[in-house]
Amino acid sequence: MINNRLVTVAAGVAAAAAYLACPAAVQAGGQFNAVLIASNCAVCHGPDGKSAGLTPGLDKLTKEGIADHLRKFRSGEKPSTIMHRFAKGFNDAQIDAIAAQLGK
Amino acid sequence: MSKHSAAKNSRREFLHLAGAAGVVSALTLTSRVSLAGSSGRVAVVGGGFGGATAARYVKKFDPGIDVTLIEPNTKYVTCPFSNTVLGGMREINAITHSYKGLSRAGVKVLHDSVSAVDPVKKRLATKGGDSISYDRLIMSPGIDFRFEDIPGYDEAAMQLVPHAWKAGQQTVNLRRQLMAMDDGGLVIITSPNNPFRCPPGPYERASMIAYYLKHNKPRSKLLILDAKSKFSKMPLFLEGWGIHYKNIEWIAGNKGGQVIEVDAKNRVAITDFDKHKAAVFNFIPPQKAGAIAHSAGLTDKSGWCPVDFLTFESTIHKGIHVIGDAAIVTGMPKSGNAANSEAKACAIAVVALLKDNKPMVPMTSNTCYSLITPEHGISVTAVWTASPDGYKKNSGGVSPEGRDAAFRKLEATYARGWYANISRDIWG
C-alpha cells in the first residue's frame, strides 16, 4: 500500500509536468494512475473485482497473483482471449501498481 | 459567500498541512478528503454510460463532493445488447436500468431536463423550474441525428422507419416490425459515415437480425447499405457471416451503398444509383452531438464538442466537461465502454481541480464485444494514454481470425459477462 502511494504521488507530479512540458514524456511510465486504471477493470471483472459471473472475479486473488497473471498474459505464457491485449499496455511498475489496487 | 470562502480556506490549509498526502487522498478511495468539509458541487447532465459513471465515480473518489445527476428518464435502456433484443435473445427489460443504485451511492438524482446552461454564473436551469449552481459541470449528452443531411427522414418518419440507435421505444418498434414481417421480406439496415456511435454496432445488428431471420423467416434476406467502404472488425464479421449466414448482403459506399434520401412511407432507400424497397427499413442516420451540447454552445463546426484531453474540460466553455459520444476524444471510439472510461478519467480530474491540484495524465481503456451469433463473439480492445494530440494507444487490437468455435463461444460468454458487470459498475 505504501509503495503504491509512492508510485501514485510521484506519478501525479511527473504527469502534470510531462503533459505541459514534453509530449514525448507523456509516453513514459512515470505518470501512471493506478486507481484510475484499476477502476477500468470493473467493466469486465465487476465493481471491486466482484464479478456477477461469466467472467472471472478478482476479489479472491492476491496482489502477487494478479501481477503474476498480468505478466504471463503479457508474455503469452498464459493464453487468453483479450487479456494479453491489455497487459501489453503496461510496464512492470504499472502492473505492480494495478495489482496493489485490486489484490488482497 | 462567506461559507464558501471558509470552506475553500480550510481546504487550502488542509492541503498545505497534509502536503503530498493530500494528493494521495484525492486518488485513493479513502474518506480523508472529506475532513476538509464540503469539497464542492458537481452537476452531471445525462444518465447514460458517460454521465451515470461520472456521477458515481466523482462521489466515490471524493465522498465530500455534492453530486447531482440530471436525467429526464427514470429508466435507462442501453444501446449495448439492444441488438440481442432485435434478434429475440433478450427482452427489453433485461437491458433496462433504474437510478436507484446511484441514489444509494449518494448521488442526488433529479429526473428533469436542462433548459439552459449559464457557464459564466455556473448555473443551470431545468424545465421543472429548478436552478442548480455548480463548481464543475460534467455533460454527457450522447448523440443526435443530422436530419438536415437526409431528405425525407425526420421525427415523424422515425416511426415507420426506426433508427433504433437510441435504445428503448425505437428498439421495441423495430423488433415488432421484424416479427410482423412476412417470410421472404427484405430487411434493410443503413450504416452512416464516421464518426458515429458504436462503430461495429450496425454489423452486430445485421448479425442478430440475420440470426432471427435464419431461424424464423428463412426466405428473407438482409441488405446493408453502407456509406463507408470498410468498417470496424470487418474481417471478423465477414469471416463470421461466411460461417453462419447466407442471408446477408453488404453494399459498400464506393459501390453505391450510401443512402442520400429516404422515402419513409414506402420504406424505400434512395442511393445515387438505385432505389431499394424494404419490408422493414432500419435507417441509422448520420450523427452529431446531443441537442443540449448545441444549445449550450459546446460544439464546433464538426457538430461535436472539442475538449482538453487531460481533463475533458470544454475548450469553449471553462468549468464544463464533456464526455462520451458527444466529445471529440481523438484516438478513442464512440462506445459505451469508452464513455465509462472517459467518465472515470474526467471524475479524477474534476476531483483534483476542485482541490486546486494539477490533474494527472489519464490512461483509458475500452473493451467492445460484438455478437455474430449467441455463441460467436468477437472483440476489440485498447489501452490509451492522453497526450496533447489525443489518446495514444499503448496496446490493443481485435480478436484473431481463424480461431475455432470454442474460442468464439468463450468470447460470447465474456461479452455477456462484460454487460452484466459494466451495468453494475454504472447503475448497480
- Tell me, what's the pLDDT at B179? 98
Is residue B342 within 8 A of residue B324, CB to CB? The reply is yes
Between CA B46 and CA B137 the distance in angstroms is: 11
Nearest-CA distance B254 → chain A (Å): 33
C-alpha separations of B311 from B98, B317, B343, B358, B359 in Å:
28, 13, 10, 10, 7
Nearest-CA distance B78 → chain A (Å): 15
CB atoms within 10 A of CB B196: 24
- Identity of the residue in A19, A42, A55 whose CB atom sits nearest the CB atom of B417: A55
Between CA B361 and CA B309 the distance in angstroms is: 9
Between CA B118 and CA B310 the distance in angstroms is: 23
Beta pairing partners, B118: B123
The tens digit of pLDDT for each residue in A20-36 reads 333 332 223 334 689 99
Reference A19, options B335, B329, B385; nearest CA is B385
pLDDT at A92 over 80: yes
Contact between chains at B424 and A47 (C-beta distance less than 8 A) = yes
Mean pLDDT by 10 residues, chain B (428 residues): 36 33 37 51 98 98 97 98 98 98 98 97 97 98 97 97 98 98 98 98 98 98 98 98 98 97 98 96 98 98 98 98 98 98 97 92 97 98 96 98 98 98 98
Counts of helices then strands in chain B (DSSP H, E): 12, 24
The alpha-carbon radius of gyration of chain A (Å, integer) is 14
Length of chain A: 104
> What is this structure's pTM?
0.88
Between CA B347 and CA B351 the distance in angstroms is: 6
Domains of chain B with CATH codes: 38-142+290-362 (3.50.50.60), 146-286 (3.50.50.60)
- Identity of the residue in A9, A16, A35 whose CB atom sits nearest the CB atom of B358: A16
What are the sequence ranges of the domains in chain A? Answer: 2-102
- Tell me, what's the pLDDT at A18? 39
Is residue B49 within 8 A of residue B166, CB to CB? The reply is no
Between CA B390 and CA A91 the distance in angstroms is: 21
Q: Is the ipTM of this complex over 0.90?
A: no
Q: Mind giving me the DSSP string for B55-115?
A: HHHHHHH-TTSEEEEE-S-SEEE-STTHHHHHTTSS-GGGGEEESHHHHHTT-EEE---EE
Cis peptide before B195 (omega within 30 of 0): yes
- Tell me, what's the pLDDT at B11? 36
Residue of B nearest to A79 (CA): B407
Phi, psi of B71 (to 5 degrees): -150, 125
Q: Mind giving me the DSSP string for B208-273?
A: HHHHHHHHH-TT-EEEEEESSSS-TTHHHHHHHHHHH-SSEEEE-GGGTT-EEEEETTTTEEEESS
pLDDT at A49 over 50: yes
- Tell me, what's the pLDDT at B265? 98
Q: Does A57 touch chain B (CB under 8 A)?
A: no
- Contact list in A for residue B50 (CB cut-off 8 A) is none
Contact between chains at A37 and B365 (C-beta distance less than 8 A) = yes
Please work out, in degrees rounded to the nearest 5, the angle formed at the alpha carbon of residue B205 by the alpha carbons of B302 and B411. 105
Reference B132, options B109, B154, B157; nearest CA is B109
Nearest-CA distance A9 → chain B (Å): 6
Between CA B370 and CA B136 the distance in angstroms is: 35
- Tell me, what's the pLDDT at B39? 86
- Identity of the residue in B358, B379, B388 whose CB atom sits nearest the CB atom of A23: B388
Nearest-CA distance B365 → chain A (Å): 7
- Contact list in A for residue B363 (CB cut-off 8 A) is 32-33, 36-37, 89
CB atoms within 10 A of CB B255: 12
Judged on CB neighbours under 10 Å (0-12, 13-18, 19+), A44 is buried
Residue B164: strand, helix, or coil = coil
Between CA A76 and CA A2 the distance in angstroms is: 30
Between CA B425 and CA A46 the distance in angstroms is: 7
Contact residues for B184 (Cβ-Cβ < 8 A; gap 6+): B217, B219, B220
Contact between chains at A9 and B395 (C-beta distance less than 8 A) = no
Question: Cell triple for residue B184?
Answer: 421472404
Q: Which of residues 20-49 of A touch B (CB under 8 A)?
A: 23, 26-27, 31-33, 35-37, 39-40, 42-47
Between CA B225 and CA B221 the distance in angstroms is: 13
Contact between chains at B29 and A19 (C-beta distance less than 8 A) = no
- Tell me, what's the pLDDT at A29? 34
Residue of A nearest to B407 (CA): A81
Contact between chains at B363 and A36 (C-beta distance less than 8 A) = yes
| CATH topology for the A2-102 domain | Cytochrome Bc1 Complex; Chain D, domain 2 (1.10.760)
Order of strands, sheet of B363-373, starting from the edge strand that comes earlier in the sequence: B363-373, B376-387, B390-398
- Tell me, what's the pLDDT at B12? 34
- Identity of the residue in B20, B345, B381 whose CB atom sits nearest the CB atom of A86: B381
Half-sphere exposure of A25 (CA within 13 A, CB side): 14
Identify the helix (H) or strand (E) that includes residue B277.
strand B275-277
- Identity of the residue in B365, B388, B421 whose CB atom sits nearest the CB atom of A46: B421
Nearest-CA distance B266 → chain A (Å): 42
H-state helical runs in B105-165: 157-160
> Mean pLDDT across chain A, nearest whole number?
78
Between CA B327 and CA B307 the distance in angstroms is: 7
- Tell me, what's the pLDDT at A32? 60
Between CA B188 and CA B186 the distance in angstroms is: 6
Nearest-CA distance A15 → chain B (Å): 5
